[in-house]
Chains A and B, each alone.
Chain A
Amino acid sequence: MKTRNLAVQLGYKAPKAFMKEAEIVYESGITAEPSKAILKRREKLGLPQIIQTDAEEVKKLLNKTGFKATIDGQRSAGDSQEAAAE
Chain B
Amino acid sequence: MKYAFFLGCTIPYRLPFLEASTRNVLSKLEVDLVDLPFSCCPDPVGIQSIDRTSYLALAARNLCIAEEAGLDILTICNRCFETLKVTNEELRVNKELRDKINSNLAEIDKEFKGSSTVKHLHQVFYDDIGLIKIKRLVKFPIRKKLATHYGCHLLRPEKILKVDNPDRPRSLDELVEALGAETVDYSQKNLCCGAGVRGINARNSYAIAREKFADVKRFGAEGLVVTCPTCFLQYDSGQLIVQKEFEEHYKLPVYFYSEIAALAFGFIPEEIGINMHRVKLPAIT
Chain A residues at the B interface, C-beta cutoff of 8 Å: 1-2, 4-5, 8, 14-19, 21-22, 25, 29-34, 38, 41-42, 44-48, 50-55, 57-58, 60-67, 70-71, 74
Q: Which of B20, B43, B61, B105 contacts A31 (CB 8 A)?
A: B43
Contact A60:B107 (CB < 8 A) given known A53-B39, A65-B54? yes
A30 near B16: Cβ-Cβ < 8 Å: no
Complex interface residues of chain B between 28 and 72 (CB less than 8 A to chain A): 35-40, 42-43, 45-54, 57-58, 61
A32 near B49: Cβ-Cβ < 8 Å: no
A5 near B47: Cβ-Cβ < 8 Å: no
Give complex CA distance A33, B20 in Å: 19
Chain A contact residues: helix, strand, loop or mixed: helix
In the assembled complex, B19 has its CB within 8 A of some CB on chain A? yes
With A31-B42, A61-B58 given, name 10 new contacts (CB 8 A): A22-B47, A25-B39, A25-B43, A31-B40, A41-B276, A45-B19, A47-B20, A50-B7, A51-B37, A61-B61
Chain B residues at the A interface, C-beta cutoff of 8 Å: 7, 9-10, 12-14, 16-17, 19-20, 23, 35-40, 42-43, 45-54, 57-58, 61, 104-105, 107-108, 198-200, 271-273, 276
Identify which of B38, B43, B58 gathers the most chain A CB atoms within 10 Å of its CB.
B58
Closest approach, in angstroms, between the C-beta of B39 and any C-beta of chain A?
4
Chain B contact residues: helix, strand, loop or mixed: helix
Contact A41:B48 (CB < 8 A) given known A53-B37, A61-B57? no
Tell me which residues across on chain B come within 8 A of A18, comparing CB atoms. Answer: 45-47, 49-50, 199
Closest approach, in angstroms, between the C-beta of B84 and any C-beta of chain A?
14
B57 near A8: Cβ-Cβ < 8 Å: no
Tell me which residues across on chain B come within 8 A of A74, comparing CB atoms. Answer: 50
Give complex CA distance A36, B198 in Å: 26
Tell me which residues across on chain A come within 8 A of B38, comparing CB atoms. Answer: 51, 53
A15 near B108: Cβ-Cβ < 8 Å: no
Tell me which residues across on chain B come within 8 A of A30, comparing CB atoms. Answer: 9, 13, 39-40
Give complex CA distance A18, B52 in Å: 13
Contact A1:B52 (CB < 8 A) given known A30-B9, A32-B13, A58-B58? yes
